Structure 1
């Protein structure tokens, strides 16, 4: 996961912990989304979806940056921008049931918070 890979590369102890905390939040969001997919009759998804694409982008982080706080934050921030945009587009364009819309909206809220956090971190470590 991108946050975990970035935490390993970051030098600052506070940044490492922040990235690990975000990784835990993202795992929970993925779990909730997967529960909704299963509730709707689908199979749990880890790849091949928007979330999967984001994970694959995040997974490549370890190779994409050197061991530094700034580079770690920049790459995670790029991934957060991408996934936030995809969830916003889904909410704007999809015809969800009220229950599914609520689940996707909660996921978007968490993702948006992560995106705002990475913006602040990028400013801090720039």
Structure 2
């Protein structure tokens, strides 16, 4: 299941990107309610990362901490885009885009048969949390658009 470990590591990097995205968006938000919601989502996503990392360690891999290169590039672009427009609207848009991306990535990974039953259960739990976040960010985007 080396392929399963590699895929799990990639998913974990993406979840780290997501947590960092929530944290960055919370910094940019000026609306107290939005800021609180984004901060809470970042915390939930950090918990998901910890669960994924625990599974990586169980499989003999090293915990992931930095996220992906693509995620770093997206955050740099987001910083540039934040210079224009309403910070609450931008924060809501950015996390919504990120959640659509990560939800799809986890769903596609679950469609493959690369995981042991134990790892699949961990990824399914992560996908549930991510799906809830994706629905929340859809509502936030509508609210702040």
Name structure 1 gaps, 5 residues minimum: none
| Structure 1 residue 94 displacement after superposition | 3.1
Distance apart, 1:64 and its partner CA: 2.9
Q: TM-score w.r.t. structure 2 length?
A: 0.77
d(CA) in 2 for partners of 1:101, 1:89:
12
| 1:98 to 1:46, Cα distance in 2 relative to 1, 3 A | same
**Residue segments in structure 2 that go unaligned for 5+ positions in a row:** 1-19
Q: Which residue of 1 aligns with 2:133?
A: 114
Aligned CA-pair RMSD = 1.8
Report the CA distance between 1:90 and its aligned residue.
Answer: 0.3
Seen in structure 2, the aligned counterparts of structure 1 residues 54 and 79 have a Cα distance that, compared at 3 Å, is farther
Does residue 1:123 correspond to 2:121, yes or no? no
How far off is 1:65 after superposition? 1.8
CA distance in 2, matches of 1:100, 1:22: 23
2:45 and 2:137 map into 1 onto residues whose CA distance is 13
CA distance in 2, matches of 1:23, 1:120: 17
Q: Is the 8 A contact 1:9 1:62 kept in 2?
A: no
Judging changes above 3 Å, is the alpha-carbon distance between structure 1 residues 52 and 90 closer, same or farther for their aligned structure 2 residues? same
Bigger shift: residues 20-29 or 57-66: 57-66
Q: What is the number of residues matched between the two proteins?
A: 123
| Alpha-carbon contact 1:11-1:69 (below 8 Å) kept | yes
TM-score normalised per structure 1: 0.88
Answering whether residue 36 of structure 2 is matched by residue 7 of structure 1, we say: no
Mapped to 2, the partners of 1:97 and 1:119 lie a distance apart of 32
What's 1:62 paired with? 79
